[in-house]
Amino acid sequence: MKFRNFILSVVLVLISAISSWVNAQSFKEFEEDFPESLKVMYHVPVAMGDGVKLATDIYLPNKTGSYPSLLIRDMYSNGSTNTRQRYAKFATSNGYALVFQSVRGRYDSEGKWYPYFQEINDGNDTLNWIASQPWSNGKVGMFGSSYLASVQWLAAINKNPALVAIAPAVSPGNYYRDVAYPGGAFSLLSRASWGIGLVGSRTNMSFPVDWVNGINHLPIETLGESVGFKVQHFQDWIAHPSYDDYWKPLNLENRASEMNVPALNIGGWFDVFLRSTIGSYKTMTEESASETSRKGQRLIIGPWPHGWNQSTKLGDVDFGENSLINVPDMLLDWFDYWMKDTHKPTNLTAGTAPVRIFVMGENVWRDEQEWPLARTEYRPFYLNDNNTLSETPSTKNNATLQYTYDPKDPVPTLGGNIMMPKLRGPYDQKPLDDRKDIIRFTTSAFKEATEFTGPISAEIYASSSAMDTDFMAKLIVVKPDGTAFNLVDGVIRARYREGFETPKLIEPGKVYKYKIDMWATSYKLSEGDRIRVDITSSNYPRLARNLNTGAEFAKTSKMIVAKQTLHMSKKYPSKIVLPIIPK
């Protein structure tokens, strides 16, 4: 009886801790007033180390005194939008100074705009400037999403003592694998629509270009010109298709030992940068420069896309009201703990549960002690030549299935971890059912509820008639009514099967093993659900088509058709590995 009461008390504590921030609120609803004694200084020219001046706005809660500061370094706005003003209200109404800065070359800031690299030194110079101001108490925190999250990690490389805590949301960390070349295949849709279309100049742009259907121009090296632009950073991205010295400074996961800052890592199961959100948390907990930093990492992952915590519905699935969280309260909890001496630790800040995930299917939040979960059972499901997916490997000496991949008719993108709002998230895959260039493998119905939470990968044995091609795997949940929606997917470009630094073409007809990183998810199947794995060779326009010629990337418009053979025999046990969580 005493044990039952103890368990009940623990459960009630956990429920109380979670419910305190699950009540949905984002900055969209944050309408607090500025303090009456607010002092504002607009467009203060802050000089960087090379003399370039960046336009900076300062919001102070009172005219006198010194305060901890929250810094936002932005390339999407000059600070005058309602969203950015809400950030300033949030900070000043809670006793923080808010410093808003337009990054180099954007809006009213001087200098030349070029993404990412410039933010390392500019972030450090800005932190030093804030710490030296009479209204600053020397403590600075940073928050924001996407590029506003990138600048936090890039500034953190300098171990600046003024940077006390950060809260990066949906942030890249390995810019080769996440931003530009997942699995070695160019992320065409996001890099074109973002790199050329939105941020190709000093201010955001929205010219009448169809970034979904209008980017099929070849060769890709002249794509920008074909839609009216010539943007240097886009040209540089396509000029570096391998992981080389251009990308290595931007592999922040490899630079965790150069950082010394607690971080509230926020991600979404359908975010384009999910792999990096998890990767940054892992490397910082293991390799960052101090015990405070290593123990000060937190990870929160919801059922969200890149535009996180905005709606309960994503794609064709509604995850319920419980899927949205109270962001201002969560951030205030985080920064008060690290930046104000009087704040008491909570479940989030004290580290009693450093990981918090949303389990889809069951649609509940759950606290965990680590990632991946220590109790995980990694279970292989094998592909069979009768299109089944089973836990028993084939005993056949020869078992194959074939399909044809024609780059002129690629499989259209339907859901997934992408930026484009109208395509991202979980979608019923029925519109693709008639395609013959997708091979599908399905389990029998699960006899009991089954959860898989953690990293997912596929090992595919395949041969091709081409010298280079792509192989892709997509994990799908099939409901009893036939609805089949995607959870995760992944790709490997054949020439990068042995690593991303040195491409190696394949020998036509030879069988190779391809390991496909499908990132991670958390989903609880219901009794009667099935899982399906789709294998194909294109996902367009999310990923640039492999033209199958073996030619240098982006240089040619020549295409050839590839005949693909999947092998699933005793010798070649193609499989997907799922992270099963025992009851």
pLDDT (tens, 9 = 90+) of the chain, 583 residues, equals 433 343 333 333 333 333 334 444 567 666 777 888 899 999 999 999 999 999 999 999 987 889 999 999 999 999 888 888 999 999 999 999 999 999 999 999 999 999 999 999 999 999 999 999 999 999 999 999 999 999 999 999 999 999 999 999 999 999 999 999 999 999 999 999 999 988 888 888 778 889 999 999 999 999 999 999 999 999 999 999 999 999 999 999 999 999 999 999 999 999 999 999 999 999 999 999 999 999 999 999 999 999 999 999 999 999 999 999 999 999 999 999 999 977 777 777 777 799 999 999 999 999 999 999 999 999 999 999 999 999 999 999 999 999 999 999 999 999 999 999 989 999 999 999 999 999 999 999 999 999 999 999 999 999 999 999 999 999 999 999 999 999 999 999 999 999 999 999 999 999 999 999 999 999 999 999 999 999 999 999 999 999 999 999 999 999 999 999 999 999 999 999 999 999 8
Task: Report d(CA 321, CA 87) in Å as an integer.
Answer: 24
Task: Report d(CA 3, CA 115) in Å as an integer.
Answer: 56
Q: What is the pTM of this model?
A: 0.94
Q: Is 240 a catalytic residue?
A: no
Per annotation, catalytic residue among 57, 69, 306, 522: 306
pLDDT at 26: 64
Question: Is residue 316 a contact partner of residue 298, using CB atoms and an 8 Å limit?
Answer: no
pLDDT at 14: 33
Task: Report d(CA 412, CA 18) in Å as an integer.
Answer: 39
pLDDT at 37: 87
pLDDT at 28: 65
Q: Which residue has the tokens 């395509």?
A: 423
Question: Is residue 465 a contact partner of residue 402, using CB atoms and an 8 Å limit?
Answer: no
Q: Helix 327-339 and helix 2-22: axis angle, to 10°?
A: 100
222 CB-near residues (< 8 Å, 6+ apart):
none
Distance from CA of residue 468 to its chain's centroid? 27
- Nearest of 440, 438, 441 to residue 410 by alpha carbon: 438
pLDDT at 505: 98
- Nearest of 108, 95, 93, 151 to residue 126 by alpha carbon: 151
Q: Is 146 a catalytic residue?
A: yes
Per annotation, catalytic residue among 146, 288, 394, 569: 146
- Nearest of 382, 419, 410 to residue 531 by alpha carbon: 382
pLDDT at 16: 36
Task: Report d(CA 44, CA 99) in Å as an integer.
Answer: 10
Question: Is residue 441 a contact partner of residue 500, using CB atoms and an 8 Å limit?
Answer: no
Distance from CA of residue 114 to its chain's centroid? 21
Where do the H-state alpha helices sit in 93-185? 119-131, 147-156
Per annotation, catalytic residue among 178, 271, 336, 470: 271
Task: Report d(CA 241, CA 181) in Å as an integer.
Answer: 7
Type and span of the H or E element at 89? helix 82-92
Burial of 117 (0-12, 13-18, 19+ CB in 10 A): middle
pLDDT at 11: 33
Amino acid 381 reads F
Q: Which residues pair with 165 in a beta bridge?
A: 141
CA-derived radius of gyration, the chain: 24
Q: Which two tokens stand for residue 204?
A: 């955001």
The distance in angstroms from the start CA to the end CA of the chain is 23
Question: Is residue 69 a contact partner of residue 99, using CB atoms and an 8 Å limit?
Answer: yes
Grouping H, G, I as helix, E, B as strand and the rest as coil, residue 519 is: strand
Question: Is residue 411 a contact partner of residue 403, using CB atoms and an 8 Å limit?
Answer: no
With b meaning 16 or more CB within 10 Å and e meaning fewer, what string describes 262-292?
bbbbbbbbbbbbbbbbbbbbbbbbebbbeee
Q: Which two tokens stand for residue 517?
A: 């990183």
Q: Which residue has the tokens 């279309």?
A: 197
Question: Is residue 389 a contact partner of residue 531, using CB atoms and an 8 Å limit?
Answer: yes
Q: Is 50 a catalytic residue?
A: no
DSSP label of 322: G
Task: Report d(CA 429, CA 476) in Å as an integer.
Answer: 8
Q: Which residue has the tokens 């033209």?
A: 547
Question: Is residue 119 a contact partner of residue 154, using CB atoms and an 8 Å limit?
Answer: yes
Task: Report d(CA 417, CA 490) in Å as an integer.
Answer: 10
